[in-house]
A and B are shown apart, each in its own frame.
Chain A
């Protein structure tokens, strides 16, 4: 029904109800002649009108009846999941926070549970709450309160469970313990690093203030309340000016930045400002705007209009107003007020004021830089707050952290940086002041135009995204044609930002224009040209234009090599990029060559230079290239070394270290070193649990990886536990409606198939299939992958007809099946044919698969075992034991050579081999081999398994 139809129906209804019965009958008859459907609808509604309203009132009354028992349960002492609520410890705009204890498990654990009630009237509130949960789930840092769990209460209210921090506000903690200036600065550095960690995970806190930073009795600071934090997610550009106005409303004025007060977009610089206010407080006990502003409105106008005091000046003015108050400030810092003032003067004044700049672009570019400057202050080195190379650093920062910096933040930071750059240049080149001023004003008016056009009012009420700003900038660049250098620099910056936002085509176009403009104007500063070619190469590589990318990188390399020391990091970086680009198109030899050259320069020919993140990345990439090339033996020591260095350099719990560790695990599986691989995966699981939040899919992945090794080792019970655990984690973390969960169900199904537990296999596979169809439709790639496993299970149960039907359907979606699984599908098709008695067709099929596998993997490869064994079985069934013998023998020999001793996969090959031995007349040896295979299989699959039983049948027949 459209809304127009709805209106027509209502119109007719209202007319009809105002009429007498005969009038109404006539009216409806007339209406039926014009529009029979409409008339019938109106009749139905009129009929409903005369009934009572129980169909509306009853469900409501009934549901209250059934819900009231639960809805009426008091919060205190109520149990939510495993947590019992103990007392209410806070209430806010979103709902309430309770102290909770875990009621199950061996030891008592406390936590804070935040229950969200605002969702009942406001749907956006729920979105914000879920955003907070998402944000916390991505953060794992010793100085940030951890997210433990989350879900919905029985009445459907969302909640999150957080680490309960028993601590004191940071300002009170410092004062109560009379911490010295140095101790305060150390604590503040810890906070800066936690905030920086959040920034690098794309989160801006937006509400940093002492009540959100607690210090535990052990002196560890903890950041709380990401309730209004913002997730700066690259790829999701919903960061708009309109939305951030909400944030402005939700914040607390004392620690708010000018842009928050104005309701303008927030960025990393916003938190930097709040950290500045915090630093000011910890140093002086005062507000940067003095004590005269007291109402919210006064504070806001001070933030916007007044220049902040210098911390030392704030102290001076306090001691002239109230000497008692100022000496108390000194006492709290274990120092006299006078000496405190002297220590603040200079560097600490500068650091605080740099944080408190009104213009976000003039503040520190990261929280880490504040911490670093404080470190310099504490070790009496010159601080960087005054340094002029800010533009350069900002641009490098944006480039290094391209993925990590949010779309909007990057745009604002880069464009703003450019303005600063020209302002600084103005000061630098006094003799060219006139020229610089012109440039500066040209840039300013350029930016004003960009922002004016991006303003929602002029842009026809649509929301403005980072991409819009960039597009507008790119369009307006043409207006700068009489300033070629400025123009090309802007093009490069906007181009790089496009690359970061996955708009490579536009990036390529802009950077290419920048190069052309510089060429046309004879502005060949070689290193700037090299930067341009390097950036162009990256955009081309990401857009899949490999040959172009290699050409650009090589130009950049040449320029850099001619103008920089041989082992300059930029030279090494370009070499590494060329290697990675070759690897993208699987030109592995070339990739290896460039990576090796980069590596040699990075660590020096004798390996005498220290490893850093660049040299480590290069090493890891070399290992991966070798692994992909099948040069496992060479890859092994390299991947081992990568893990070892990463543990030292990044720490054992760094996500990169864990990923590198796991890469080593996969390689060891390929080398059939199952036992060690199992240890490696166990380490990964153990570390991942510490790093990622509860039920994170990454942990589940590692647990399943470990399961895959365990079943290869024949430890089926443990493998089952691992697979089940992994699937449960993903279900509890992401819910059933996720591709990850389907993956894990499929893995579980594959495991149960191998384990011979066909009913469980089928249940899980069918569930995975059902979810796939519901979520993604029945032409999703998961469907054929699931069906291939189902077919294998049917074959193992000797139901060849059913297996063949399933496989034929799966193979209709051939294009959606990965190469490895296609091999399995083709092989199982051969088995299915054989089981149906079509021996010739089966032989043809299996010989084809074998030939392809030999071509791809070589004649002597464990990947051939299964197909060789199945081929032998087919020929035996066909009554040609003579032809079967060579295949059976080969399968058995490869298995014994590569797989660990007594492995069940050897036993399967052995069972087939025993058949051919018997037919060849060597019954003694056949019996010995069959008995040994039986023993090894029983250990893994148990007595009832049909693989064991078929050996029994064979042994009985021999008697």
Chain B
């Protein structure tokens, strides 16, 4: 298994543009997100709403040395954000498919049970995000970093290498555009 040093090195290489490092990093980060989810679930309080931020920070704290540069740290969050987005959409799709596909002897099973709102809402959101990505990939990435990765404005600026002012401006439009899109489809 990779130790702390490996992860730090992989992170650095990945920030430097190495796709191989990104690929090697993914399972490690995934495993940690997974473990972070388990820990958070155990200590979850009633009424407390989980945020992706909590998951990602929890994973980061366990996985990466404190002396990692600010820039590599931003990249770690970017990777986690991308992963959270895919993971949640996978999960929502899977649950919707289970609802449709159902039990074992189901040659003749056609009833379409309505999907739980939450999965449908997430799918609507990611559909809208995909459309935004189609028009303007950078804005979609900003949204991903903020909402799926829980990054602050400064962290987003660092990870994407653009000024905080531009991030603020772009995010404001992207958010408004998405919200309008969602109200249109609902």
Q: Is A68 an interface residue (CB 8 A)?
A: yes
Contact B41 A68, beta carbon cutoff 8 Å: yes
The answer to the question of A74 belonging to the interface, with a C-beta cut-off of 8 Å to chain B, is yes
User: Are B20 and A67 in touch, CB under 8 angstroms?
Assistant: no
Residues 5-24 of B at the A interface (beta carbon under 8 Å): 19-20, 22-24
Q: Which residues from chain B contact A727 at a C-beta distance below 8 Å?
A: 107
Assembly CA distance A649 to B183 (angstroms): 69
Are A121 and B179 in contact (CB-based, < 8 A)? no
Partner-contacting stretch, out of B27-35, B60-68, B152-160: B27-35
- Bitwise interface map of A from 115 to 158 toward B, beta carbon under 8 Å scored 1, else 0: 00111111001000000000000000000000000001011110
Once bound together, how far apart are the Cα atoms of A9 and B176, in whole Å? 12
Query: Main SS of the interface on chain B?
Result: helix
- State in angstroms the CA–CA spacing of A770 and B100 once bound together: 15
Asked whether any CB of chain B lies closer than 8 Å to the CB of A91, the reply is yes
A860, B20: Cα distance in complex, Å: 72
Q: Does B164 contact A (CB under 8 A)?
A: no
Contacting pair A121 B82 (CB below 8 A): yes
- Asked if A460 is at the interface (CB within 8 A of a chain B CB), the reply is no
| Closest chain A residue to B55, Cβ basis | A64
Beta-carbon contact of A55 and B31 below 8 Å:
no
B91 to A49, Cβ gap below 8 A?
Answer: no
CB distance from A726 to the nearest CB of B (A): 10
| A interface footprint on B148-186 (CB within 8 Å = 1, 0 otherwise) | 100000000000000000000100110111111011100
Say whether A120 contacts B20, CB under 8 Å.
no
Contacts of A724 in B (CB 8 A): 105, 107
List residues of A (92-113) whose CB comes within 8 Å of B's CBs: 92-96
Report whether A48 and B183 are in contact in the complex, using a CB–CB cutoff of 8 Å.
Answer: yes
What A residues does B36 contact at CB under 8 A?
A: 72
A65-B49 in contact (CB<8A): yes
What's the nearest-Cβ distance from chain A to residue B183, in Å? 7
Chain B residues positioned under 8 Å from A60 (CB to CB): 52, 88, 122, 125, 147-148
- The minimal Cβ–Cβ distance linking B179 to chain A, given in whole angstroms, is 4
Q: How large is the interface on A (under 10, 10 to 19, 20 to 34, 35 or more residues)?
A: 35 or more
A156 x B108 contact (CB < 8 A): no
Given contacts A45-B176, A66-B118, contact A61 B107 (CB under 8 A): no
Measured in the bound complex, the distance between the Cα atoms of B139 and A13 in whole Å is 15
Q: Which residues of B contact A157 (CB under 8 A)?
A: 90
- Measured between beta carbons, the chain A residues less than 8 angstroms from B134 are 3
B105-136: CB near A (< 8 Å → 1, else 0) gives: 10110100000101101101100000000111
Is A154's CB under 8 angstroms from B91's CB?
yes
- Indicate if A73 sits at the interface (CB-CB under 8 A): yes
B-contacting 9-mer, from A518-526, A623-631, A760-768, A943-951: A760-768
Question: A33 at the A/B interface (Cβ < 8 Å)?
Answer: no
Does A849 sit within 8 A of B, measured CB to CB?
no
Residues of B within 8 A of A633 (CB): none
Quick one: CB contact mask for B88-105 with A, threshold 8 Å, 1 for yes? 111111110000000001
Interface residue A51 (Cβ < 8 Å from any Cβ of B): yes
Q: Would you call A1 and B125 a contact (CB within 8 A)?
A: no
How many whole Å from B48's CB to the nearest CB in chain A? 10
Residues of chain B within 8 A of A156, CB atoms compared:
87, 89-91, 93-94
Q: Which residues of chain B come closer than 8 Å to A58, judged between CB atoms?
A: 121
- Chain B nearest Cβ from A127, distance in angstroms: 13
Nearest B residue to A58, CB-CB: B121
Q: Is the CB of B94 within 8 A of A154?
A: yes
Given known A155-B90, A748-B107, contact A61–B51 (CB-CB < 8 A): yes
Are B175 and A56 touching (Cβ within 8 A)? yes
B74 contacts chain A at the CB level, 8 A cutoff: no
Verify if A740 is at the interface (C-beta below 8 Å from B).
Answer: no
Q: How many residues of B contact A (CB 8 A)?
A: 68
Q: How far is the CB of A164 from chain B (nearest CB, A)?
A: 20
Chain A: minimal CB distance from B95 (Å): 8
Question: Which A residues are in CB contact (< 8 Å) with B46?
Answer: none
By beta carbon, the residue of chain B nearest A767 is B110
Annotate A38-58 by CB proximity to B: 1 below 8 A, 0 otherwise.
000100111111010101111
CA distance A122 to B121 in the complex (A): 24
CB pair A121 B118 closer than 8 Å: no
Q: Across the interface, do A68 and B27 meet the contact criterion of CB distance under 8 Å?
A: no
Encoded as 1 (CB less than 8 Å from any B CB) or 0, chain A from 326 to 346 comes to: 000000000000000000000
A64-B52 in contact (CB<8A): yes
Q: Which of A3, A45, A122, A764 is in CB contact (< 8 Å) with B108? A: A764
Closest CB in chain B relative to A661 CB, distance in Å: 28
B23, B125, B135, B179: the one contacting A122 at CB < 8 Å is B23
What CA separation (Å) do A95 and B30 show in the bound complex? 9
How far apart are B117's CB and chain A's nearest CB, in angstroms? 8
Q: List A contacts of B90 (CB < 8 A).
A: 120, 152, 155-157
Tell me whether B87 and A59 are in contact (CB under 8 A): no
B94, A152: Cβ atoms under 8 Å? yes
Shortest Cβ distance from A3 into B: residue: B135
Query: Of B26, B38, B55, which one neighbours A121 at CB under 8 angstroms?
Result: B26
User: Which partner residue on chain A sits nearest B23 by CB separation?
Assistant: A93
Assess whether A69 is interfacial by the CB under 8 Å rule.
yes
Task: Determine if A306 is an interface residue (Cβ-Cβ < 8 Å).
Answer: no
What chain B residues lie within 8 Å of A62 (beta carbons)?
118, 121-122
What residues of chain B lie closer than 8 Å to A728, measured between beta carbons?
A: 107
Given the complex, which residues of B lie within 8 Å of A70, measured CB to CB? 91
CA distance A731 to B178 in the complex (A): 37
Report Cα–Cα, A146/B90, bound state, in Å: 28
Please determine whether A49 and B172 come into contact, CB atoms closer than 8 angstroms: yes
Of the candidates B40, B50, B169, B179, the one having the most CB atoms from chain A within 10 angstroms of its own CB is B179
Residue of B nearest to A51 (CB): B179
Q: Which of B34, B51, B89 contacts A72 (CB 8 A)?
A: B34
Residue among A59, A62, A66 with max Cβ neighbours from chain B (10 Å): A59
Contact check, B119 vs A63: say whether CB atoms are below 8 A apart: yes
| Residue with the greatest number of chain B CB neighbours at <10 A, chosen from A6, A56, A119 | A56
- Within 8 Å by CB of A120, from B26, B41, B108, B143, lies B26
Known: A3-B135, A59-B122. A117 touches B94 (CB 8 A): no
In this complex, the member of A94, A155, A760 whose beta carbon has the largest number of chain B beta carbons within 10 angstroms is A155
Flag if B173 contacts A10 (CB, 8 Å).
yes
Given contacts A14-B169, A57-B147, A60-B148, contact A49 B27 (CB under 8 A): no
Residue of A6, A49, A71 contacting most chain B CB atoms (<10 Å): A71
* Separation of A745 and B108 alpha carbons in the complex (Å): 9
Residues of A within 8 Å of B26, CB to CB, are 95, 117-118, 120-122, 125
Instruction: Provide the bound-state CA to CA distance between A155 and B143, in Å.
Output: 22
Q: Does A760 lie within 8 Å of B108, measured CB to CB?
A: yes
By a CB distance below 8 angstroms, the chain A residues around B135 are: 1, 3, 6
Is A93 touching B24 in the complex (CB atoms < 8 A)? Answer: yes
In whole angstroms, what is the CA distance A67 to B183 when docked?
25
Residues in chain A near residue B136, CB distance under 8 A: 3, 6, 10
Check A155–B179 contact: CB distance below 8 A. Answer: no
Interface check B142, CB cutoff 8 A: no
- Cβ of A432 under 8 Å from chain B: no
Please give, as numbers and ranges, the residues of chain A lying within 8 Å of B143 by CB-CB distance. 56
C-alpha spacing A60/B26, complex, angstroms: 21
A63 to B91 alpha-carbon distance, docked (Å)? 9
Q: Which of A45, A72, A125, A760 contacts B40 (CB 8 A)?
A: A72
Known pairs A62-B118, A70-B91. 18 more at Cβ < 8 A? A3-B136, A6-B135, A44-B183, A57-B147, A64-B50, A64-B55, A66-B119, A68-B37, A69-B41, A71-B34, A72-B35, A91-B27, A93-B23, A117-B31, A122-B23, A125-B23, A125-B26, A767-B110
Name the 7 nearest CB pairs between A and B, nearest first. Answer: A156-B90, A72-B37, A72-B38, A49-B176, A59-B121, A48-B179, A48-B180
- Spell out A's residues near B (CB within 8 Å): 1, 3, 6, 9-10, 13-14, 17, 41, 44-49, 51, 53, 55-75, 91-96, 117-122, 125, 152, 154-157, 249, 724, 727-728, 731, 745, 748, 760, 763-764, 766-767, 770
Would you list 14 pairs from A and B whose C-beta atoms are within 8 A, ordered by A residue?
A14-B173, A44-B183, A45-B176, A48-B180, A55-B182, A56-B175, A56-B178, A61-B50, A61-B52, A93-B23, A117-B30, A118-B26, A122-B19, A249-B20
